[in-house]
Structure formats: C-alpha cells, structure tokens
Amino acid sequence: MTIEFYSRLPLHGETQFIPGDSRNRGDWNRSLAESTGAASRFDIGDDFTYIDYLSQVARAAELNGFAGALLVNAPFGEEPWIASSILARETKRLRFVNAFHPFHFSPWQATQMAASFQRSSGGRLIWNIIQGGSDALQNALGDVLPHDDRYVRASEFLDVVKGFWANESFHYAGKYYEANGMGLRGPLRKAQIPLICSAGASDAAKDLAAKHSDYYLMLAEDPDVVATHIADVRKRAEAYGRADHIRFGLSVDVILRETDEQAFAEAKRFFDEGVRAGTVQMTAERSEHLSDTNKARYKRYNDREVNGFEDLFLGPNLWGGFGYIGIPPGFAFVGGYDSVERKIREFAALGISMFFINGYPHLEEIYRLGEHVLPRFRQEETPAAANDLQPIPLVHGPGLEARGAR
Ligand SMILES: Cc1cc2nc3c(=O)[nH]c(=O)nc-3n(C[C@H](O)[C@H](O)[C@H](O)COP(=O)(O)O)c2cc1C
C-alpha cells in the first residue's frame, strides 16, 4: 500500500511555545505588541503578514515531498477556503485538504466554489467535511441542529453536491435540501469532484464516512483503538458496496530528532513550558470532569500519575503530551528518525495510507521529516499509485433512495 504524507498548516498560529506565548509566530498572542513578525496591520501594502508565513510552510511542504496539507477550520483561525485559494497560486502541486461545515454553505455554492478551485489549481482541492466538535460551539455559530441530525444534513449535502457534479440537471428532495434541475455545466463541468474526507468516532460520523467519504480520518491514539475504528467503518461501508473503496487517514503530531534522547528532551521542554504556564495543572484539573476514556489521557499532575513528560507515553515513542499541555489534537510520534519511521509503519500496517503529520514549529519539522523520514518511504511509491487519488463515482446507496433522490 502506498503511504501518502500530508502536512498541516498552522491556521491558528504557531505553537512552538504554549498557545498565547508571545514568542510564538503570528498574532494569536496575548500581547499583540510583542508579536513576532507575520502580523497584519490591516493596511493595504502590509508587507509580511501571517499568510506569508503560511506560504512559507506550504512551499516547504511541497519542496519536501508532501502530497498536500490539512487546513483545519477553527472559529478563531484563518478560513481554509480563503487561505488555500491564496496559497494555491504560491505552490505548484500541493493539495489542500480544506475543512468546512456544510452548515456554512449551500450545496450549490460549495459545488461551484470547488469546481472553480479545481480549474484554477489543477485539481488540488480535497474536502474534509466537519460537523463541529460540540453542540455549544455550533449553537454559538447559529447552528441549532443536534449532533446526529447534523450528520443527516451533511449526508444530504453530499448527495446533492455529487448530484450537481454528475448531472447537468439534478433533482432531489430531502429533509434539508432540494435541487430542481441545476448541475455543473460548461467548462466548470470538466473539473473533478474533490476527494472527500471526514472524521468522528460517533455512529453518525462513521455512517457518513461509510456512505460518502473517500478517506475516514482519525487522530493518533492507541493502535488497538485505531484498528477497531477502521474495522467498524469498513463494515459499515459494506452496506454501500464501498468496503474496498474507503481508505484511512491519521493525524499525528511529531517531534523528530536524530535520536530518541534528543526528541525526548524537546518533549520535556514542551512539558516544562506547560508546567510554567499552568496549562498542565489546568488540564489535570479539568480532566476530573471528563469521561473515563478521556480521563485515561489526562491524568493527574503531581499525584504520582503524571510528574513529568515521561509519564505521558502511551507506548514506545507515542506521547500524549501535546493535548495535555493545551496544543491539540493530542498524540505525537516522538523519537529519532528510526523510531518515527517504525511508528509510521506500525500504523500503516493497520490500514492507514494517508498521514497528516507535523510538529511545532511546522516549518522546521517539515524539513526534518522531508529530509530524514519521507525518503525512507519514497522508493515504495509507484508512479501510478501516487496519482491514483480518484474520487469514487456517485454511489446510489440505500440512503439516497430513502431520502428521495429523483
Ligand atoms: C484529522 C481530523 C481533522 C479534523 N479537523 C477538524 C476541523 O478542522 N474542524 C473541526 O471543527 N473539527 C475537525 N475534526 C473533528 C471531527 O470532524 C469531528 O467533529 C469530531 O471528531 C467529533 O465527531 P463525533 O462527535 O461525531 O465523534 C477533525 C478530526 C480529525 C480526526
């Protein structure tokens, strides 16, 4: 199986120190006056702003052989469609995996925007369809649908997008969306529909992926848990005749150095920064209110469970420290070049073919990965496999009929 490496772009600031620390690049810092470069003054002619830093990261990613980059959508970060549209003209072949909520777009608007993006970028757009982490956050944005209903809406959204893409005159009557004869026409019709990624451990999230996604994405954690998710989603995909089609991606942080010892020293630096900034203690206190599963990750600080960075290893070279000190998503491969290669192969053996991997600062870790780890996998790629990212044809699974595609 070919492994594809994707980077991540830091759309809400760099965190080589704890979030909010003025030494971080960008202007997500507590003290704007102390921001280090790459901060906008909102003047026409601003010389270098944060997008220039993102551009440096994106170009470093493609120079170093990454196939693309993940752009997360957080309300307090740069918006992925806008950032990627700008960066597409500053890069040559990097793919952009843009996260967006169906709630924020109509299916037609998303279809037309994606077709334009594909035409002007050489087909470098990939979608990560997200539903929002919590009801509270969605409510704050004005989306009042409960969790599972958001996935039903997303499923219809993708029915309609795929319908618009495949037909010049598409008709659909669902609970949330209708289409009455629209579809891509003219030159836009020649564009390829973006590959679709989605994530989420809930039943609703897995069902959406089973029906619609080319890639189901997970965060790195205990390999047994990842294997269970993969088996579950594959099984659900059977109902749509897609068990052999759906593929799997993993997002994981990294601290990569020449040796394990050097990487562990950097993990310790992060952890100690967290202790100094109080984020370790805060996470530990909050963990008292988490579910049992999450509690296992965020253990007590200074109570024999977590006294130092070394207590946050879940297994060899798999470190849970970043989430713990306030830099989500969470688990990281921490180690020397050989150890990180081994971790990648371990997860690849579970069925992961797309790795979203990066560390902090993104720019420096991209170079380390690009120079010391990615080449170890390059000879295993075949030219055909590297280009075989074809979206799946529109699947007329049970959901589509049931929801009234006509
Ligand atoms: C690799 C990956 C990337 C994600 N990117 C985003 C994102 O950019 N924005 C977001 O709000 N949620 C993001 N998520 C969260 C998921 O889309 C999903 O909302 C979350 O896992 C909760 O799903 P559930 O409640 O259905 O289990 C991401 C998850 C993964 C694994």
What SS3 string covers 224-245?
HHHHHHHHHHHHHHHCCCCCCC
Per-residue pLDDT at 187: 96
pLDDT at residue 394 in the model: 41
What does the angle CA 264 – CA 270 – CA 275 come to, to the nearest 5 degrees?
120
Count of Cβ atoms closer than 10 Å to residue 55 Cβ: 18
Residues with CB under 6 A from ligand 1: 72-73, 99, 128, 130-133, 199-202, 204-205, 217-219, 251, 356
For 260-286, what is each residue's pLDDT tens digit? 999 999 999 999 999 999 888 887 777
**Banded model confidence at residue 399, pLDDT cuts 50, 70, 90:** very low
CA distance 52 to 330: 27
Categorise residue 122: left if φ over 0, alpha if ψ from -120 to 50, beta otherwise.
Answer: left
Give me the pLDDT at residue 280, please.
84
Round to whole Å and give the CA distance between 334 and 316. 9
Place 22 in a pLDDT band, splitting at 50, 70 and 90.
confident
- Evaluate if residue 393 carries a pLDDT over 60: no
310 CA distance to ligand 1 middle (Å): 28
Separation of 249 CA from ligand 1 center, angstroms? 12
CA 213, chain centre distance (Å): 14
Question: If you measure from the C-alpha of residue 34 to the centroid of ligand 1, how many angstroms do you get, rounded to a whole number?
Answer: 32
Mutate which of 9, 96, 131 for ligand 1? The one with the most ligand atoms within 8 Å of its CB, which is 131
Q: Is the pLDDT of residue 385 over 70?
A: no
Residue 133 CA to ligand 1 centre (angstroms): 6
pLDDT at 168 over 80: yes
3-state percent breakdown (helix, strand, coil) of the chain, nearest 5? 45, 20, 40
From the CA of 48, how far away is ligand 1's center (Å)?
31
Distance set, CA 353 to CA 52, 114, 366 (Å): 30, 24, 19
Residue 74 alpha carbon, nearest atom of ligand 1:
9
* Spacing of C-alpha 104 from chain mean position: 18
Say which residue the tokens 């009234």 belong to.
404
Domains of the chain: 4-402 (3.20.20.30)
Residue 370 Cα, ligand 1 centroid: separation in angstroms?
A: 26
- Mean pLDDT, residues 318-345: 93
Cβ count within 10 A of residue 245: 15
pLDDT value at 228 more than 90 = yes
Q: What is the pLDDT of residues 279-328, one digit of tens each?
A: 888 877 776 665 555 555 555 555 556 788 998 898 999 999 998 888 98
What is the position in ligand 1's atom list of the atom closest to the CA of 218?
31
Show the CA angle centred on residue 332, arms to residues 381 and 243, nearest 5°: 50
pLDDT of residue 27: 85
pLDDT for position 402: 31
Average confidence score pLDDT of the chain: 89
41-45, 202-206, 274-278 — most confident range: 202-206
Q: Give the nearest ligand 1 atom to 99 CA.
A: 8
| CA 215 to each of CA 4, 210, 396: distance values in angstroms, whole numbers, following the listed order | 12, 9, 18
Average pLDDT over residues 141-148: 94
Query: Lowest-confidence range among 62-66, 353-357, 392-396?
Result: 392-396
Predicted TM-score (pTM) of this structure: 0.91
* Closest atom of ligand 1 to CA, residue 137: 11
Res. 9 pLDDT band, cuts 50 70 90:
very high
- The reported pLDDT for the residue numbered 105 is 96
Closest atom of ligand 1 relative to the 129 alpha carbon: 17
Percent of the chain clearing pLDDT 90 (strictly above): 72
pLDDT at residue 59, as a whole number:
98
Helix (H) or strand (E) holding 71: strand 68-71
pLDDT digits 0-9 by tens, 104-113 = 999 999 999 9
User: At a CB cut-off of 8 Å and minimum separation 6, what does 217 contact?
Assistant: 128, 197, 198, 199, 248, 249, 250, 251, 354, 356
- Predicted pLDDT at 304: 53
Residues in the chain: 406
Give the model confidence (pLDDT) of 83-140 as tens digits.
999 999 999 999 999 999 999 999 999 999 999 999 999 999 999 999 987 888 899 9
